[in-house]
Amino acid sequence: MFDIGASELLVIAIVAILVIGPKDMPMALRTAGRWIGKIRRVSSHFRSGLDTMIREAELEDMEKKWKAQNEAIMARSTGEEMAGPLAPPDAIDTTDGDAEAEKPASAESRAAPPEEKHKPTAEPQLPLDPPAGKD
């Protein structure tokens, strides 16, 4: 990082021993170690914060792309394709439950059950979208 060679470290150690003295050297090295540790923790915290911000920005970009693709797909499909066929009026039973037990089932009703109506939603949500109203 600082590109300090062995001869430069030796000069720094000799100057430190002369200035600080051999008696106070252990305490000075402990203090320097604490400072270096604090600097490393702060830099790693800063780096992890930047990484988190970058990841969130990338996720937002991906969500925008997915939403645009989803809207394009929804625009291409028609409402009729999504709603499905409606049940014929004669398949709707308006009698009560007891009368139905006596009445035999028609061939059409035995062939295929009526399909459920699908209501298209106003805006489809992706799994990564936060629930509406919790902003």
Nearest by Cα to 105 from 94, 93, 116: 93
CB 83 within 8 A of CB 120: yes
Does the pLDDT of residue 92 top 70, yes or no?
A: no
The reported pLDDT for the residue numbered 41 is: 95
Tell me which of 128 and 76 has the higher pLDDT.
Answer: 76
Q: pLDDT tens-digit profile of 99-135?
A: 444 555 555 555 555 555 555 555 655 566 556 655 4
**What letter represents residue 66's amino acid?**
W
Q: How far apart are CA 132 and CA 129, in angstroms?
A: 8
CB 114 within 8 A of CB 91: yes
Helix/strand/coil for 42: helix
What is the chain's alpha carbon radius of gyration, rounded to the nearest angstrom? 37
Handedness of CA 55, 60, 61, 66 (dihedral sign): positive
Cα pseudo-dihedral 50, 54, 56, 58, rounded to 10: 180
